[in-house]
Each structure stands twice: as structure tokens, then as C-alpha cells.
Structure 1
Amino acid sequence: MDIRTVIEDLAEEAERLIHDGVWVLTTTDRSVASKAAADLHTAVGTPQSQQTLPEVDRLERLREALAAVAIALAHVHGRLAWFLGAAATALTPVLHWRAMPAEDGPTFGAVPPTPQQYTEAEDAVRRLRSVLTSITTA
């Protein structure tokens, strides 16, 4: 499964749990979700703006998004922590990507992603931002 599909599944599950009253959001949940959504928006902008960036910048921004999720995760417990943990896990492939040439040396297993993989990961971050934004108003 690609990153976008995993994040979409997580988002749908979170929305369903909130809608069904299984996940009752706390003030802290809302605050952390709001900050994380803002940080994700800063990291990964619109599709048009991202696609004009060099690959090294696109990868940097995806890693910033993963860092924002990890920081948010450090500040919560319960369902929001479980959700953010699963989202961070889904985004971990970006840690194995490289945008720089190997220059005939070791890469510690890092591989260059395809343009499609960049787009899918960026779309996943936008979807994650969307569900975090909806959490703040639930």
C-alpha cells in the first residue's frame, strides 16, 4: 500500500470514531491537532508549489512534515497518540529516500523516489492536515 492510501484509511477511521462518539476529543487533542495541522501546511504547500521545487527541497519538506507529526505525538496520549503514531509510521518511507546522487558511495539503503512517490506522499500529508484540521472543530 502506498503512503496516500494508508493515510486515507487512517483519516477515515479517525473521522468514523469521532462521528460515532467513540473518540471524544479533549481540549489538548484539539490544541495539538491544530498546531500539527498548521505545521503540516507550512511543510507541504499546494500541489502546484511543491511540484515546482527541486527534489531535494521536496524531500526536505516531507521530512519536516514527518517531524511535525512526531513532535505532536510527543505531546498527547490515547487515541490522538495512536492516530499520530500510525500516521508517522505511514510516512516513514520518506526517511529512506534520497534526492542527492550517490556518487559511487554507500547510501545506507537510501533510494531515489519516483516523482509519483513524491506526489503521493505530499497528497498524504495534505490529507493528514485535513483530518487534523477537522479534529479541531469536532
Structure 2
Amino acid sequence: MDMRRIVAVLAEEAEQQIHNQVWKPAPSECALAHETEMGLRKAVGPPDVQETLPQIDRLEHLREALAVLAISLARTHGRLAWFLSGAINALEPVLRWRALSSDRGGTFGTVLASLEEYTEAEEAVRRIQDSLARIAAG
């Protein structure tokens, strides 16, 4: 399953839980969801901006998005933490990417990602942003 699909499943589950009132986000969860959404929007911009950047910058932005998610995860528990954990897990392949050639020597298991993989990861981040906006709205 690709990153976009994993995130879509997470988003659908969150929306269903909120709709069915299984999950009623507390004000603190709404605030953290909003803060996280804004951090992700700052890290990964719109497609027309991201796609013009060099791969090394795109990778940096995706790593920043993962850092935003990880910091938010450390600040919460319960369903929001579970959602954030799932989002981090979906983006996990980004952690193995590198944008520089290896020249000589080992790469610690990292791989060069394709442009399509960068686009997929960025689209997944944008879907997470949208889900967090809905969570923030309660």
C-alpha cells in the first residue's frame, strides 16, 4: 500500500470516528491538531512550489513534516496520538531516503527516491494536513 492510500485510510477512520461520535476531540486535541496542521503546511507547500525545488530541499521539507508529527505525538495521548502515529508510520519510507550520491562508501541503507516518490509523500502530507484541519474543527 502506498503512502497516499495508508493516509487516506487513516483519514477515513478519523472522520468516521468523529462523525459517529466515537471520538469527540477535546479542546486541547483541537488546538494541537490545528498547530500540527499549520506546522505541516509550513514544512510542505503546495505542489507548484514543491515540484520546483531541488530534491535535497524536498527531502528536507518532508523530514521537517515528520519532525512536526513526532513532536505533536510526544505531546498527546489517545486517539489523536494514534492518528499521528499512523501518519508517521505511513511516511516512514522518507526516513530511508537520501538526496546525495554515495560517491564511495556505504549509505547506511538509504536509497535515492524517485520524483514520483517525492510527489507521493508530499500528497500524503497534504492529506494529513486536511485531516488535522477537520479534527481541529471538532
Q: CA deviation at 1:129?
A: 0.3
Q: How many residue pairs were aligned? A: 138
Measured against aligned partners, the alpha-carbon deviations of 1:4-56 in whole angstroms (never above 9, x if no partner) come to 11011100110010001001100111011000000000000000100000000
Structure 1: gaps of 5 or more residues: none
2:4 maps to a residue whose letter is R
TM-score, normalising length: structure 1: 0.98
1:8 & 1:135 partners in 2: Cα distance?
Answer: 14
Runs of 4+ more than 4 Å apart? none
Other structure's SS at 1:23 match: coil
Question: How far apart, CA to CA, are the structure 1 residues paired with 2:3 and 2:66?
Answer: 12
How far apart are 1:136 and its partner, in Å?
Answer: 1.1
Percentage identity across paired residues of the two chains: 51
Distance across 1 between alignment mates of 2:107 and 2:28 = 40
Within-5 A mapping of 1:62-77:
62-77=62-77
Match in the other structure for 2:15: 15
CA distance in structure 1 between the partners assigned to 2:83 and 2:133 by the alignment: 14
RMSD after superposition: 0.6
**TM-score normalized with structure 2 length:** 0.98
Within 2, Cα distance between the matches of 1:76 and 1:10?
17
